[in-house]
Amino acid sequence: MSIYLDVIWFLNFSFDLFLLLLTAIALKRKIYKLRILLAAFLGSSIVLMMFSPLAFMATHPIGKMIISMMMVIIAFGFYRFRYFFQSLLTFYFVTFMVGGGMIGAHYFLQAEMKYLDGLLMTNSSGFGHPISWLFVLIGFPIMWIFSRNRLEGLEAKKIHFDQMVTVTISVDSTQFTLSGLVDSGNQLYDPITRSPVMVIDTMKAKEYIPAQLVYQALQQDVMRSLSESGDESHPWEHRVRIIPYRVVGSENQFLLGFKPDEVWIETKNEKIKVHKTIVGLNRTTLSSENEYECIVHPKMLQGQSIEHVS
């Protein structure tokens, strides 16, 4: 079996370099190019050690762990144990994630990749079939980009769910609970009282709201639906509010809403009682994935904290 040592070394050097970069991206660490290059060179030196008296260290799990720890220290430094272990475990995580994806794609496509003592190689007949090299050279960057995007997506999802709250609305003897999203982009206020406006998915709460009000709120032209209702009334008529709003590229529109008696917002840490707010009735679905049923105005979180949640 012929082995092209320089090609195998460069391949592993490139892999180590990209994995360290992905680790830095995942941890939001500043990237020092020289340190990353030196760490990648150290990691790829395991290929050279395979053909030296130190081969036993290159193939032993403890030896590999020591090398990976040194790589992380060189790339990101050592400030305290928690910082170091966070870097090390994240490096292992992205390695398993990208490597697992490559192995899965390998078996799915049956490309000619082989492993020799833990090193990624092309087929054992020498330089390798062009298709197998093409798979490695194209497949790894694709998996790297996919993994980076997934990590960013998971972070965005975490931020999103950190803003999720439970909202309970009370009107007379009616009380109902919805899942809410605190959205800093919601800057709706009642033009008269300057009360912050939270927006709910009308269809998710229609069983608790008077049918006449639901019908009016779901109409495209709210003002027209109110004028056409004539003498028809409902129990919440004195609570109805009209909130003007504007969407980019369109004229002023109106949102129908009502004034509740009280609103409770439960976050991860506390339960907040809100007295001054308006509940806007949205005619369309707020979340296509049903992750939340209302959008909470950020100012509502400044209400009175009545209970701390452990």
- Residues belonging to the active site: 183
Of 302, 267, 266, 263, the C-alpha closest to 279 is 263
Q: Which of 131, 26, 28, 39 is nearest to 77 (CA)?
A: 39
- Three-state secondary structure call for residue 66: helix
Tell how far CA 138 is from the center of its chain.
26
User: For 206, which DSSP code?
Assistant: T
> Among candidates 186, 158, 181, which has minimal Cα distance to 290?
181
3-state secondary structure labels for all residues of 227-260: HHCCCCCCCCHHHEEEEEEECCCCCEEEEEEECC
- 194 DSSP assignment: -
Report the C-alpha gap between 16 and 11 in whole angstroms: 9
Rounded-to-integer distance, Cα 177 and Cα 128, Å: 62
